[in-house]
Amino acid sequence: MNQHEKTLRREVTWISGETIIDKLTYFDSKQAYMNLNNEVKHLKGLSMTTNWFLYNDETGELLASKHPETPKSKAIRLYGELGNYAEVARQMDLHPTTIRTWCKEKAE
């Protein structure tokens, strides 16, 4: 993959419970951002889904979802990926105790 090529991971969960995961590759350009916006509009128009997510496949960053990610859910997800309260807190500009509290609440 060259430096201007980006890969998106799309996860769509249908009402039937089936989840489909696929990847979309595009070239990083102004047109690509227009295509990304069109893809989000397409996903928003799917009525037979319980949820969908669009990620940057390289970094794992959530770009869009049917239910936007709250700071709390993002912190919990990042902690699951990184396993370090301090690192999550640095990335989100929050106090590590806040991250720890949210993660402990989720575990209960």
Q: pTM of this prediction?
A: 0.52
How do residues 45-58 score in pLDDT, each as one tens digit? 777 777 888 888 88
CB proximity list for 57: less than 8 A, separation 6 or greater: 7, 8, 9, 23
The C-alpha atoms of residue 83 and residue 97 are separated, in whole angstroms, by: 14
Long-range contacts of 66-73 (CB under 8 A, 24+ apart): 72/102
How do residues 5-49 score in pLDDT, each as one tens digit? 778 888 888 888 888 888 878 776 666 667 777 777 777 777 777
Across 28-97, where does the E strand assignment appear?
A: 49-56, 62-65
Average pLDDT over residues 51-79: 83
**pLDDT value for 3:** 59
